[in-house]
Amino acid sequence: MRLLFLNHNYRYMATFNRGRGMAEELARRGHRVTLMTVSPEHRYKPVWSIVNGVCLAEMPNFGQNNSGEGYGPLDNILRVGHALRHRYDIIHMLDHKPNASFAGFTTGRLRGAHLVADWVDWWGGSGGINDVPKRRFPIVGRFEAWWEIKSKLWADGVVTISTALRQRALEIGCPPERILYLPNGAEPNAIHCMSVADARRQLNVPIERRIVGFLGMSQGDMEIAMNAIRQLPDVWLMVIGPTNPRVLVQARSFRIADRLWQTGFISDDQLSRYLACADIMCLPMVDRAANRGRFPGKLLYYMAAGRPTVASPIGDVTSLIETHQIGLLADDDGFINAIDRLLSDADLREELGCNARRIAETTFNWSHLIDSLEGFYLQILASRASHSPTKENAHA
């Protein structure tokens, strides 16, 4: 199959990693795969390369952050033009942002491509990502609330990252046979297990230090973990990812700034070492629609690294941790006890960490999960029927 993945944010960030995991596994199976994302460096020109069998296009970032990602004018024009010049069997749209969907619904469909809308985040409505006090351009928020739904109804198939978004797809009128629930996958071949001692020796970190790790470009809800660490005076918080001044401000407010380690951006080839530096990982989340709709990709990195996780019992994270015994669940007040329990019990850390690595290598390995996506594509192509938008429920 000829496959085009459209991602709305920068290379290495968030949804890009989901698209990359799918694209690389499909390329390994012999499909011709192109993945379009946004360049973190180039403002006015695209950069093309071949990465692990995938044709990767980093599009210019001029205007990328105008009232939300995905609105860069050069980026959108170039994607629409590409979809006009090249014929694809499937265009896989990672969320609804303009640069992830317009090329599909315009020139891509004109050239005969079937469209798959991947619902990766809960954007609209109360508690969604776009539920913010003030937007630079309010009309953009209103457009996105409408387009988030319509892009799913008008696609040939819908993939959802979580059971909450699958339920939402059903509620807006998407037929169940056109919906595939596909959580994030792990990449155990890219993330290697290392002992804490080996990792810390390589990075010159004190062996005896007790460290709780957190990974991510997006570094929200950290106050839950910081409040717990504030009450554990010998515990450090390591935040792996670009240095965020807001996190330092938060740490100062909780009086743990002297125990905060912000690593800055870490390249893929170094990530395993930094993950291995942590005794345990954390995944704090407040209870809101945006978090209930997520399947946090960082948790798959934690699992691949063989580290147990203390997580908030929100969304699909709850069933994952309970079913596979890869960590401890704790509400906001219980975070301190869960962290302290894991840090104080080496045998429990080892047991849960081994469970996590095993599940990353099997159940949640992209090489396993991709079977269902490949089958879903073939099902859509086999229909051979001309596209007709889903009839909307009266309340949609």
The correct CATH number of 196-361 out of 3.10.105.10, 3.40.50.1820, 3.90.230.10, 3.40.50.2000 is 3.40.50.2000
The larger pLDDT score, comparing residue 387 to residue 3, is at 3
Provide DSSP, 273-290: HHHHH-SEEEE---SSHH
pLDDT, tens digit, 9 for 90 and up, residues 237-280: 999 998 989 999 999 999 999 999 999 999 989 999 999 999 99
C-alpha distance from residue 119 to each of 151, 161, 179 (Å) = 10, 6, 10
Q: Facing residues of 4 across strands? A: 34, 91
**Mean pLDDT of the region 60-86:** 90
| pLDDT of 387 higher than 70 | no
pLDDT, tens digit, 9 for 90 and up, residues 335-374: 999 999 999 999 999 999 999 999 999 999 999 999 999 9
pLDDT of residue 61: 94
Indicate the average pLDDT of the chain.
92
Alpha carbons 48 and 298: distance in angstroms, whole number: 27
Report whether 291 contacts 315 (CB < 8 A). Answer: yes
| Residue extents of the structural domains in the chain | 2-185+366-383, 196-361
| pLDDT of 142 higher than 90 | no
pLDDT of residue 384: 59
Report whether 65 contacts 97 (CB < 8 A). Answer: no
**Mean pLDDT of the region 367-392:** 79
Alpha carbons 264 and 314: distance in angstroms, whole number: 28
Phi, psi of 72 (to 5 degrees): -60, 125
| pLDDT of 389 higher than 70 | no
Phi, psi of 4 (to 5 degrees): -120, 125
Mapped onto helix, strand or coil, the DSSP state of residue 187 is: coil
| pLDDT of 392 higher than 60 | no
- H helix runs in the chain, sequence order: 15-28, 73-85, 98-103, 109-110, 138-153, 163-172, 196-203, 222-230, 245-253, 268-277, 289-292, 297-304, 316-324, 335-344, 346-361, 366-383
The larger pLDDT score, comparing residue 394 to residue 285, is at 285
Q: Who contacts 250 (Cβ-Cβ below 8 Å, separation ≥6)?
A: 222, 223, 226
Tell me, yes or no, if the two domains 2-185+366-383 and 196-361 fold the same way.
yes
Give the least confident one: 135-149, 313-327, 328-342.
135-149
pLDDT of residue 259: 97
pLDDT of residue 216: 82
Q: Which fold has domain 2-185+366-383?
A: Rossmann fold (3.40.50)
Alpha carbons 307 and 104: distance in angstroms, whole number: 39
* % pLDDT > 70, the chain: 94
pLDDT, tens digit, 9 for 90 and up, residues 115-135: 999 999 998 888 888 776 666
The larger pLDDT score, comparing residue 143 to residue 86, is at 86
pLDDT of residue 77: 97
pLDDT of residue 275: 97
CA angle at 217 for the pair 213 and 220, rounded to the nearest 5°: 75
Torsion sign (Cα): 154, 156, 160, 164: positive
pLDDT of residue 124: 86
pLDDT, tens digit, 9 for 90 and up, residues 178-227: 999 999 999 999 999 999 999 999 999 999 999 999 998 776 789 999 99
pLDDT of residue 67: 63
pLDDT of residue 139: 80
